[in-house]
Structure 1
Amino acid sequence: MPPANRRASISVFFPAYNDEVSIAPLVRDAIAVLETLTNDYEVIVINDGSADATPRVLDELARGLPHVEIIHHETNKGYGAALRTGFNAASKDLVFYTDGDGQYDVRELVNLFPLMTGAVDVVNGYKIKRADKRYRILIGSIYNRTARFLFRLPIRDVDCDFRLLRQSALRRIELVSSSGVIGVELVRKLHAAGCVFVESPVRHYLRAHSQSQFFRPGRVAHTVIDFLVLWLKLVALRWLSAASGDDRRAGAELLTPGEKAQFPVSTRGDKKVAGVSFPPAGSQHTKPPASVNSFE
């Protein structure tokens, strides 16, 4: 393991919602693996308004473990809101997160850590095989394929919330989503900011205790709406704005020297349509070493 990585400080955080059974073992496993990677770490758990015994379990856990911090949301604000709270609370050089339901083994962080070399900004896990009911696997596959296509994502499994990121990369972006689409927003914005990704296979396990909050009909419908709104903001409107800018530049080149450009204002009926300008969503990436799997 490179000495630079050995000295890197790490924040690990878990969003938790009704995870009274799984969260304490997860925190203890995280501490065990962090002790082998660095001497400067913190573990943060965001209780997102759990209705079970999760708040009590977490408070008792923190009293006995000095590296553990608990943040309570008074109400259930959503998965994306819990992640944003975690990212804002993380203070170390590297930031790792995964879910609090125990479907991933946090000890596999040891496989991601060596891949965080100098050229890499994000090490993203991808599920070797999804351990879920068939309908969940189908919905997850459709979601992942659609997200990769519409948002031009550089990774194979955007739905795998097992990620190690540089704090410096997170500072380049601002996250706004409160729902489960935050994973797509995170990857899209990091990619647009020029971040370099590599991937590592991780195991996925059946949910042993708590119930998923994502596969309820109402939540699925809400996620679809959030997904489409996110695509409009991050892709469609930016593409239209860039295309409009190209047209204006082409028109300006036809003017004679000293002639002032006059651009018409679009109207619909008697209402003017205001234009919105966004920066382009692409940049040059530095390729990571050939020994790791890079997706740009």
Structure 2
Amino acid sequence: MAKQITGLDLSVIVPFYNEEGNIKPLYEEIKEVLISTGKSYEMVFVNDGSKDKTLERAIEIAESDPTVHVIDLLRNSGQTAALMAGLDQTCGDVIISMDGDGQNDPKGIVKLLEELEKGYSVVSGWRKDRQDKEISRKLPSRIANKLISKVSGVHLHDYGCALKAYKREVVEQVRLYGEMHRFVPIYTVWQGGKISEVPVNHRARVHGESKYGLNRIFKVLLDLLLVMFMERYMTKPIYVFGGVGFLSLALSVLTAIWAIFLKIFDGKSFVETPLPILVGTFFTTGILCILMGLLAELMMRTYFEAQDKKTYQIKGHYNFKGSKIT
């Protein structure tokens, strides 16, 4: 699918996976809200490898409404990949994302836009009165939100709410993988942008079944670890690998000293303890970590230089003509 013509105010991206019963009523609600804003808009429905009749329903809607575009992914790739597929094909100045299960109330779009106009780069919805099961959905979400806020330093009540509004220039600089769509507010703050959060209405699911389980919290935590690593050490991975390597070498030396101490003062032979094996293990691990750090450094330099990427971002120029001073 080719990218749509430019000049639109809003692009609404909705990923769907086995939501044939939700897509038509959700479309009608979104359209009513978008018309009420008075802005030009498009809707991008991403079929994320559905096995039911979601794609057929989406195509029927698109054939009757030229503002609706449908992207059909080859297989189920996950919410983040579906969102990126939509982002790559949209052209609105403001991007709005939401779930396709009907639990996000489209009326919240108006709240997001009002907040965005106050100068924020990203506005996230907050499902303050969430209509989900307490143990399997709400409790893990609260734990994950507190942990993400603590680790990242970016405090939001509800990272998992899919209803968000972004200014295009923010999301164009981010490539998302795994479950990283929820971390866009963190990227925004790290890049110097401003974020906000507004309470939005959350509804109980009417059709279909939830696709999320408790195992998702572990995926989110692993992605958070990756995000933190990329932010702090992407341009200097040797600090991580080298640090672990030197720690391992230090443990190797201490273990060797301990083994020698036992040999001299306690009369224990080296073969009577596992200490020599630990010495070798720590030493080998240390050397390998340092070598991996050097390799990672070479890879990152190749990544930046081959694509002419910069390790910095310029916010603006003031009284600067770009001419060389001679």
The TM-score bracket by the shorter chain reads: 0.7 to 0.9
TM-score for the superposition, normalised by structure 1: 0.75
In 1, Cα distance between equivalents of 2:66 and 2:162? 26
Kindly state the Cα deviation for residue 168 of structure 1 after the two structures are TM-superposed. Answer: 1.9
Aligned residue number for residue 63 of structure 2:
63
Q: In the alignment, which residue of structure 2 is the partner of 1:269?
A: 287
* Counterpart-to-counterpart distance in 2, 1:128 and 1:159: 12
Counterpart-to-counterpart distance in 2, 1:148 and 1:55:
37
Which structure has greater strand proportion? 1
Partner of 1:194: 192
1:230 aligns to 2:248 (yes or no): no
User: Structure 1 regions of 5+ residues with no counterpart?
Assistant: 1-6, 245-266, 285-296
Distance in 1, matches of 2:108 and 2:139, equals: 26
Matching residue of 2:205: 207
Given that 2:233 and 2:239 are in contact with CA atoms closer than 8 Å, whether structure 1 keeps it comes out as no
Structure 2 Cα separation of the partners of residues 96 and 77 of structure 1: 20
Deviation at 1:115, TM superposition (A): 1.8
Question: Aligned partners of 2:238 and 2:287: how far apart in 1?
Answer: 22
Which segment is superposed worse, 35-44 or 93-102?
35-44
Question: SS of 1:106's equivalent?
Answer: coil
Distance 2:187 2:31 in 1: 30
Distance 1:161 1:174, change over 3 A: same
Deviations 1:20-54 (A, max 9, x none): 11111111111111111134110110000001110
Matched, 1:25 2:18: no
RMSD, aligned α-carbons: 3.1
In structure 2, do the counterparts of structure 1 residues 138 and 63 end up closer, same or farther at CA, with 3 Å as the change threshold? Answer: same
Deviation at 1:280, TM superposition (A): 8.7
Give the C-alpha shift of residue 221 in structure 1: 4.7
State the distance in 1 between where 2:45 and 2:96 align: 12
The answer (yes or no) to whether the contact 2:140–2:214 under 8 Å persists in 1 is no
Change (3 A) 1:208 1:231: farther
SS for the counterpart of 2:56 is: helix
TM-score if structure 2 supplies the norm length? 0.69
For residues 282 and 89 of structure 1, do their structure 2 counterparts lie closer, same or farther at Cα, with a shift above 3 Å needed? closer
Which of the pair has the greater relative contact order for Cα pairs under 8 Å at 6+ separation?
1
Query: Which of 267-276 and 70-79 deviates more?
Result: 267-276
| 8 A contact 1:154–1:191 mirrored in 2 | no
Query: Counterpart amino acid of 2:209?
Result: Q
CA distance in 2, matches of 1:181, 1:30: 25
Matched-pair identity in %: 25
CA distance in 2, matches of 1:129, 1:19: 23
CA deviation profile, 1:64-108 (whole Å, cap 9, x unmatched): 111100100121011110011111122011111100001111122
Are residue 166 (structure 1) and residue 167 (structure 2) matched? yes
**C-alpha contact (below 8 Å) 1:242/1:280 kept by paired residues:** no
Deviations 1:181-224 (A, max 9, x none): 3212x22211111111122110111222222222164x555444
Q: Which amino acid aligns with 2:179?
A: G
Between stretches 18-27 and 110-119, larger displacement belongs to: 110-119
Gaps of 5+ in 2: 1-6, 242-284, 305-309, 316-326
Question: Could you tell me which residue of structure 1 aligns to residue 180 of structure 2?
Answer: 181
Stretch of structure 1 that moved more, 66-75 or 201-210: 201-210
Q: How does 1:12-51 map to 2 (within 5 A)?
A: 12-51=12-51
C-alpha deviation, 1:240, in angstroms = 7.4
* Residue aligned with 1:231, SS: helix
The alignment of Structure 1 onto Structure 2 pairs a total of residues equal to: 252
- Secondary structure of the 1:113 match is helix
